[in-house]
Structures are given as C-alpha cells and as structure tokens.
Structure 1
Amino acid sequence: MQLRIFTEPQMGATYDDLLAVARRTEETGFDAFFRSDHYLTMGGDGLPGPTDAWVTLGALARETTRIRLGTLMTAATFRLPGPLAISVAQVDQMSGGRVELGIGSGWYEAEHAAYGIPFPPLGERFDRYEEQLAVITGLWSTPVGETFDFEGAHYRIAGSPALPKPVQDGGIPLIVGGKGSKRTPLLAARYAGEFNVPFSSVADNARLFAGVRRACEEAGRDPGAMVHSSALVLCVGKDEEEIARRAAAIGREVGELREHGVAGTPAEAVDILGRYAEAGAQRVYLQVLDLSDLDHLDLVASEVAPQLA
C-alpha cells in the first residue's frame, strides 16, 4: 500500500508551511504530497487566507525532486478546461513528470459566493465536469502538429494547437472520486487512472470500488488497470497522551477519529490500513490537518509505513 500526504491549506497555511510539509514528505519516504483545491475555510478564521493549488504545486515542483504532486480535488467550476490543461501540463514539465490531476465537479457553494465563482445546479456542474474531462484529455492526447476541436453544450474548442504537452510517460494521471453510484463510476471508467473514495467506511470503500470495477467491465476496460484509493484523516500517536494532544490540535474527538480515520497507536493505524487494503485500497491519502506537527509524519513514516510495504 502506498501512503500519500494530503493537506487542507484553506484551513490556514502559508506557502512556507506547505513547503515544510512537502519537504518532510519527501525526506521521510512518502509517495506523494497532495493538497485540496479550496478558496474558503470550513472552520476557524482561515488566516492567513487561501493559497492557489496550482501556483503552490508549480513552486513545489521546483523545490522537490522525488515525490508526486497533485490535487484532491481541483473543482471543475474554478477554471476553464483549456487554461487548466495548460497549467497542469506546465507544472508537469516543471516537476520533471511528477504531477497528477484530481478533479471533481465542485461542491462548496460558500467559497463560490465568497470569490464570485458561478455555482450552477448539481446536474449542470456534472455536465460541465464531464466536458472538462473530455477537453483536458483531448488537448493532452492530440499529437504535436495537429489541432483539437470540441463542441459541447458548455465548452467549445476550435483549432487549438493543444500545447503544452505533459512530459511524463503515459500522460498525466487523472483521479476521479466521490460517493456517487451512477455518473461518477462511468466517468472514472472512461477517463481516470485512479478512483478515490473520500472519508468513508471500509464497507463503503469496498462497495464503491466494486461499482467502478463494474463500470470498467461495461466500458470494455480492464478493471485491474484502475488504481483504487482512499482518503482518511490522520491522528497517530505513540501513546494515548500524544493521540489526545493531536486530536485536540485539530478540534476532533479521539473516539470519533478512531472510528472514522487512521487514528490511535501505530499498531492501530496498521490494522486500520490493513482493513482498507482488504477492501481494495491500493493507496491511501492521509489527511494531515496540523501542518506544524512534522513529528507526526516522522512517526507514521518510521512505525507505520514499513509494516505496509
């Protein structure tokens, strides 16, 4: 099982905070550093304010050398698909081919209102999301020297040179995720290299993974080619006192974290992650909410990760 570090900077973080976590992520052997793509905090004052996901990842691309970099999830409502394809491909070049794009339909209405971003009804958001997937993959896969055209209900592309291109072999992996049982699995089967289940039980992960496997089979795609992943909040400590301190720092209860996240002692964390592996998760994004606690990453890297190799 691969372990990735996943941050939520909208809750309050500077670029320097994120750089420190990304560097520790790389130093301690984790597979990747990911961040959310949000413009508004979900609690607290959010100071000093949001940082842009792809600006951040472009900078981190030049200050790291090994870890993969990406978003869970970029909102399709935030950016037009053509400029987004350019930004992500540029960061891929800047990183030497280490980028992955997690993209979703967008869900947090308050941040749209706070920054003047249109927030259509759910059905239209999904329609736009599907078209964005088609446009982004179409631009990236168009051979150099040819042009790309697209005629959709929401986006129209005419004579695009479809540049720049990603640099990594096989192109930039797309991550589609969510808990929907109809359109989401179909989009994952058609466009994604990875399907992610956010903050759900072992049973729900198993059920949703099975739905994506069925969608792949119906689309004529090998289900084994899809990576299955989970996202879970992290709160691990060497003893009960440390666990309680880390839970308090993120405003959560220890019992609730043990029930819904990767929480407890290192031995408990290994057991929890093992159950998600049995449900089909090949990769877990560990949501780190206290970005000042780099010792947290050290503990998981030294006492949890080796047991999952």
Structure 2
Amino acid sequence: MLLRIFTEPQQGASYETLLSVAKATEDLGFDAFYRSDHYLKMGDVSGLPGPTDAWITLGALARETSRIRLGTLMTAATFRHPGPLAIAVAQVDRMSRGRVDFGIGTGWFEQEHAAYGIPFPSLNERFERLEEQLQIITGLWRTPEGETFDFAGAHYSLKDSPALPKPARPEGPPVLIGGFGAKRTPRLAAAYADEYNVPFHKVDETLAAFGRVRDAVEAAGRTKPMVYSAAQVVCCGRTEAEIKERADAIGRDVAELRENGLAGTPAEVVDKIGRLAEGGATTVYLQVLDLHDLGHLELLATEVQDRL
C-alpha cells in the first residue's frame, strides 16, 4: 500500500507552507506529495494569502525534492488549453527527473471559474473537452521526435505541432482519472488512465466504483493493469482528545469523519485502509487539511505507514 499526502492549498497556504509539507512528506518516507488545482477557497476559511498555481508549485518542488512523486488531484481541463498544458507538465516532469503524475478532470467548481473569468460550459461539453485534452496531451507526448502532431476535434485543433518538449519517459507521465460517474468516467478511465481514483466516498461506495471501472476495462479489451486508489480526509490521533483537537482545527466533526473519512486512532485508520486494500486499492491519498500540523504527518508515518 502506497500512502500519498494530498493538500488543498486554496484553503489557505503559501508556497513556503507547501514546501515544508513536501519536505516532510519526503523525509518521513511517504510515496508522493499531491495538491489540488483550484483557484478559490471553499467553505468558511480565509483562503489567505490566496491561491497558488498547481503546476508552478510542482515545478518549484521538483527542484526542492529528490525522491517523492509529484502530482495533481485533479487538474481542471477547463483551466488550460491542452497544448500549453502538455508543455508545462512535460517540463515539470523533466525538472523532476520523471517523478510527475498527471491527474486531470472535467473541472466542477463553477464559482472559481466566475471569479477568475474562466468559461464554464455544460457538464456534457466539459466531458467532451476532457476527452479531447486526453487525446491531445498523450498524443503530443508520444509523437516521436522529428515528427509532427495534428488533431481536429469539436473543441480543439492542432496543425503541424512539433510536439515538444518531451517528458522524461516516451509514454509520458502516468495519467490519473477520478470521479464517481457511472458511465462516462469508467469509459474514459479504461481508455486513457493508468490509475483510477475515487475521492471522498465511503468504503463500500468506493469499491462499487472500482467494480464499474473493472467492468469498463474488461469491455474495452484492455490488457494493461489499472491502479485503483482512493482519496480520504485524514484525522488521526493517539487519544480521543487529540483526534478532536485535529478535527476542530479543520472545522469537522469527529463522528462524521469516522464515518466518511480516515479518522480515529492509528489502529482505526490502518483498519479502514485495510478494507480499501481488500477491495483492490493499492494507493491511498491522505488529504491533510491543517498544513501547519507537521506532527500529524509524523504520527501517520510512524504509526500508520509503518504498520502497513
């Protein structure tokens, strides 16, 4: 089981804070540091000092770390054109010597689009654009050097692209697709993803979603193995008082977190991760919401990760 640290910096975090969490992630032996790709805070938090760009952040962290993988859950296809996005991700991948994972989704948070002047089309169109972006980005990465790439779609067209720069590996970074949709998401995952992720659902719901993607993989005749993963908010403590203190710090209820996330003592967290593993998950993203509580990361490393 791989444990990865997942952050939500739009809730309020400077680059310096993210750097301290990434360095702790590496020093404590976790597999990866991930971040969201959002431009607007959610809920009753200050959000200060304001949003940080996901790929600028990961480019900087690529030079400040040496072992951990770096990625997004999930880059919004609405935020960037596919050609420039392919360039940015390939550059960060080379800067990190091949440690980048590329998570991409439709984009869903309408208010952040309005706040920063980004078009927010219908859900159907967002899925269409996501699929074209997947075709274009992977096509650009995998075009042999010296050849050009063309694409003509309903939303994007490319002509005589030199398809540069190339990522560290010829096939490009691993692609992650996530979500809970019953039809379109499983189909896209089976066609394009190296990893399928279910975010913030109960164990039984997560395993049911895994099953739908397994069915889509089989229906597509795919032979390449799929990685199955889950993202869960984490709130761990050695005592009930410590658990409550951490829950209060992120504005959440302990009972709700125990039901819907990874909350409780280290033994409780290990047990729920074990249930995910029994259902096929090989990677769990621990959503850490209090980015100043590095003691939380240390507890997760020594009393959860080491047991797994």
The TM-score normalised by the length of structure 1 is 0.98
Letter in 2 for 1:52: D
- CA distance in structure 1 between the partners assigned to 2:170 and 2:246 by the alignment: 40
- CA distance in structure 2 between the partners assigned to 1:174 and 1:31 by the alignment: 17
- CA distance in structure 2 between the partners assigned to 1:45 and 1:4 by the alignment: 26
Equivalent position of 2:53 in the other structure:
52
Q: Does 1:222 align with 2:190?
A: no
Letter in 2 for 1:305: Q
Q: Unaligned 5+ residue runs, structure 2?
A: none
Q: Unaligned 5+ residue runs, structure 1?
A: none
Q: Number of residue pairs matched?
A: 307
The alpha carbon displacement at 1:158 in A equals 0.4
The alpha carbon displacement at 1:170 in A equals 4.0
Identity %, equivalent residues = 68
- CA distance in structure 2 between the partners assigned to 1:231 and 1:94 by the alignment: 26
Equivalent position of 1:212 in the other structure:
213
Name the SS for the 2:102 alignment partner: strand
Letter in 1 for 2:7: T
Alpha carbons 1:96, 1:168 under 8 Å: kept: no
Letter in 1 for 2:85: L
Q: Does 1:4 align with 2:4?
A: yes
Equivalent position of 1:283 in the other structure:
283
- CA distance in structure 1 between the partners assigned to 2:46 and 2:7 by the alignment: 17
Alpha carbons 2:142, 2:170 under 8 Å: kept: no
- CA distance in structure 2 between the partners assigned to 1:170 and 1:4 by the alignment: 23
Root-mean-square deviation (Å): 0.8
Letter in 2 for 1:37: D
Equivalent position of 1:126 in the other structure:
127
Equivalent position of 1:23 in the other structure:
23
Alpha carbons 2:250, 2:289 under 8 Å: kept: yes
- CA distance in structure 2 between the partners assigned to 1:7 and 1:303 by the alignment: 20
Q: Does 1:67 align with 2:57?
A: no
The alpha carbon displacement at 1:292 in A equals 0.1
Alpha carbons 1:197, 1:205 under 8 Å: kept: yes
Equivalent position of 1:294 in the other structure:
294
- CA distance in structure 1 between the partners assigned to 2:210 and 2:170 by the alignment: 26
- CA distance in structure 1 between the partners assigned to 2:180 and 2:207 by the alignment: 12
List structure 1 segments (4+ residues) > 4 angstroms apart after TM superposition.
none
- CA distance in structure 1 between the partners assigned to 2:111 and 2:184 by the alignment: 24
Equivalent position of 2:102 in the other structure:
101
Alpha carbons 1:88, 1:101 under 8 Å: kept: yes
Q: Does 1:245 align with 2:245?
A: yes
- CA distance in structure 1 between the partners assigned to 2:169 and 2:304 by the alignment: 30
- CA distance in structure 1 between the partners assigned to 2:5 and 2:67 by the alignment: 14
Equivalent position of 1:196 in the other structure:
197
Mapping of residues 74-223 of structure 1, within 5 Å: 74-168=75-169, 170-222=171-223
- CA distance in structure 1 between the partners assigned to 2:298 and 2:170 by the alignment: 31
The alpha carbon displacement at 1:171 in A equals 2.1
